[in-house]
Amino acid sequence: NFKNLNLSNIIEQTIFEFSSEAHKKDISLIFLKPETEIPEILGDEEMLRVVFQNLIENAIKYENRNDKIFISLKYNLKNKEVEISIRDTGIGIKKEDQARIFDKFYRGGNAIKKDETGTGLGLFAAKNIIEHHKGKIWVESKVKSGTTFFIKLPIS
Ligand code: ATP
Ligand code: MG
């Protein structure tokens, strides 16, 4: 169900939905908003909400108490893309796991140790949805220092 969307509003609302979850661990969710208005993107609102929910949920789940999570949204005029990142300072992901975390049902060993609940479907779904929007999603991470997920979505 593709429509023109204001991503900034959607991300802001998703952050708000997770505010009490974050509060329980004394985590701050900080939205680094675009400095200027960004163009609308053509996308499926429900599906993109699922992506942001899964990534923010993970960031909180695998973050340490008392830390900060930064969510940023930018417009890259030259490439006609929006760029989103979700950065935590939590448990991190081992190099050998990084290639597999987007697979169906895959859960990292340190994640299982930290939080026994989870199906390993969140990132699988996120990747599928982003690819249906002709976008890209990838991760950069270091064990015990944190993880950043990046998304790029084309404007048209
Ligand atoms: P669920 O289906 O409930 O989301 P999950 O969180 O284990 O379960 P995914 O969201 O698909 O599943 O994530 C897959 C794996 O990627 C996790 O098990 C964990 O190992 C790793 N992971 C994802 N996000 C993070 C993060 N922010 N920090 C550290 N590890 C992460
Ligand atoms: Mg998850």
Atom of ligand 1 nearest to the CA of 106: 14
Task: Identify whether the C-beta of residue 77 lies closer than 8 Å to the C-beta of residue 137.
Answer: no
So what's the pLDDT on residue 76?
94
For residues 117 and 92, give the distance between their C-alpha atoms in angstroms, rounded to a whole number: 18
So what's the pLDDT on residue 17?
98
Instruction: Give pLDDT tens digits for 85-126.
Output: 999 999 999 999 999 999 999 999 889 988 888 999 999 999
**d(CA 121, ligand 2 centre) in Å:** 7
Could you tell me which of 133, 130, 152 has the C-alpha nearest to residue 74?
Answer: 152
**d(CA 5, ligand 1 centre) in Å:** 27
- Intervals of the chain under pLDDT 50: none
So what's the pLDDT on residue 37?
87
Atom of ligand 1 nearest to the CA of 107: 18
- The CA-based angle 52-39-2, given to 5 degrees, is 60
**d(CA 151, ligand 2 centre) in Å:** 16
Could you tell me which of 71, 56, 44, 61 has the C-alpha nearest to residue 130?
Answer: 44
Q: What is the pTM of this model?
A: 0.97
So what's the pLDDT on residue 41?
95
Give the other-Cβ count within 10 Å of 100's Cβ.
14
For residues 91 and 69, give the distance between their C-alpha atoms in angstroms, rounded to a whole number: 13
Query: Which of 29, 53, 55, 58 should be mutated for ligand 1, with most atoms under 8 A from CB?
Result: 58
For residues 57 and 24, give the distance between their C-alpha atoms in angstroms, rounded to a whole number: 13
So what's the pLDDT on residue 116?
80
Find all residues with CB under 8 Å of 93, minimum gap 6, and list them: 101, 108, 110, 139, 141, 143, 147
Could you tell me which of 48, 39, 37, 38 has the C-alpha nearest to residue 2?
Answer: 48
Atom of ligand 1 nearest to the CA of 146: 28
For residues 83 and 95, give the distance between their C-alpha atoms in angstroms, rounded to a whole number: 23
So what's the pLDDT on residue 127?
98
**d(CA 64, ligand 2 centre) in Å:** 16
